[in-house]
């Protein structure tokens, strides 16, 4: 079935006796197979959220998210929507759902939406952060929330190389072989690399992302930061459009979906840009 048909059908269902509700969701992805519900029953964030919402609504609930995340990847700015006949206030959707969720998933806000809102198709930009703990000794804390890299990384080299990826490009060299996106053409608005003590943060905002795109970018930039490749290698990989020339895929634990942007008319709640343990760094405030 075509995606535009699905979008039309869900919008119509919301207009015929259903309410459309949007939620902001954050989660630690370490013990989940990923966002998407698994037929095998393997734990997923979507399944846990739908089960909790169904208890609050007293009816089956199915959610649609802004962007699916892989196994081990975290979310602190995920947006979902669902349609329901149940009448609940915003507090009930937030606190009631959290009461029924496991400790590593939280609903942070809820908002009734017009029938034409769609968490995925109405999103106009998405933003990820990748957090590296750069130290010779592996961390005992946040071990599943950051990626440890023991090699000294040159952040200035990484930031310089990142500039080659800005703008509109064919990102075929940074997409996974199983990626289902129709086009590899994406637009990156910003790609910043900054150091904060032992933490290195890669912050990237784009129209949309290919499967493994951020983790593959991180793999290229860390190789450059470690001195294994020249700064211009980022441009060579991009222009080569060959995934096999792009180096390793970075681990999932350091990756966070931190923000999804929508047209202002929807007036969705705005929270800080996560993850929460980075909020004290003023340089990351925007």
Dist CA 20 CA 44 (whole Å): 23
Residue 193: which of 134, 113, 112, 138 has the closest Cα? 134
User: Are the CB atoms for 126 and 66 separated by under 8 Å?
Assistant: yes
- Complete DSSP assignment for the chain: --HHHHHHHHHHHHHTT-EEEEEEEEE--TTSSBSS--TT----HHHHHHHHHHHHHTS----EESS--BTT-EEEEEEEEEEES----HHIIIIIHHHTS-TTEEEEEEEEE-TT--TTTT--EEEEEEEEEESSSPPSSSTTTSEEE-S---HHHHHHHHGGG-EEEE-GGGS-TT---S--EEEEEEEEEEEETTEEEEEEEES---TTHHHHHHHHHHHHHTTSS-TTHHHHHHHHT-GGGS-PPPPSTTEEEEEEE--GGG-------S-GGGTT-GGG--
Q: Which of 70, 89, 154, 286 is catalytic?
A: 70
Encoded tokens for 138 = 């592996």
Which residues face 75 on adjacent strands?
Answer: 27, 257
4 as an active site residue: the answer is no
Q: What is the pLDDT along the chain (286 residues), one digit of tens a residue?
A: 333 444 444 444 455 788 999 999 999 999 998 999 888 778 999 999 999 999 999 999 999 999 999 999 999 999 999 999 999 999 999 999 999 999 999 999 999 999 999 999 999 999 999 999 999 999 999 989 999 999 999 999 999 999 999 999 999 999 987 877 888 999 999 999 999 999 999 999 999 999 999 999 999 999 999 999 999 999 999 999 888 888 889 999 999 999 999 999 999 998 899 999 988 776 676 6
- pTM across the whole model: 0.91
Dist CA 6 CA 209 (whole Å): 21
Encoded tokens for 51 = 């089960």
């Amino acid at each position: 079935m075509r995606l535009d048909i699905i979008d039309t059908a869900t919008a119509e269902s919301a207009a015929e006796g259903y309410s459309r509700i949007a939620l902001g969701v954050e989660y630690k992805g370490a013990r989940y197979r990923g966002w998407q519900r698994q037929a095998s029953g393997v734990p997923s964030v979507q399944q846990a959220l739908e089960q909790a919402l169904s208890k609050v609504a007293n009816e089956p609930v199915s959610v649609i998210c802004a962007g699916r995340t892989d196994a081990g990847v975290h979310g602190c700015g995920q947006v979902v929507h669902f349609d329901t006949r149940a009448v609940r206030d915003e507090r009930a959707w937030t606190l009631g759902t959290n009461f029924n969720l496991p400790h590593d998933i939280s609903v942070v806000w809820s908002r009734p939406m017009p029938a034409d809102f769609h968490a995925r198709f109405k999103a106009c930009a998405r933003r990820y952060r990748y957090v590296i703990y750069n130290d010779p000794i592996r961390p005992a804390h946040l071990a599943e929330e950051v990626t440890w890299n023991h090699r000294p990384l040159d952040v200035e080299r990484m930031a310089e190389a990142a500039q080659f990826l800005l703008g509109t490009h064919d990102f075929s060299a940074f997409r996974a072989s199983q990626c289902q996106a129709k086009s590899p053409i994406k637009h990156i608005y910003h790609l910043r690399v900054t150091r904060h003590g032992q933490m290195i943060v890669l912050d990237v905002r784009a129209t949309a992302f290919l499967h493994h795109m951020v983790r593959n970018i991180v793999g290229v930039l860390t190789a450059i930061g470690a001195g294994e490749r020249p700064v211009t290698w980022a441009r060579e990989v991009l222009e080569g459009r060959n995934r096999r020339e792009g180096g390793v895929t970075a681990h999932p634990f350091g990756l966070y979906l931190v923000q999804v942007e929508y047209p202002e008319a929807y007036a969705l709640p705005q929270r800080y840009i996560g993850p929460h343990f980075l909020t004290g760094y003023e340089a990351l405030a925007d």
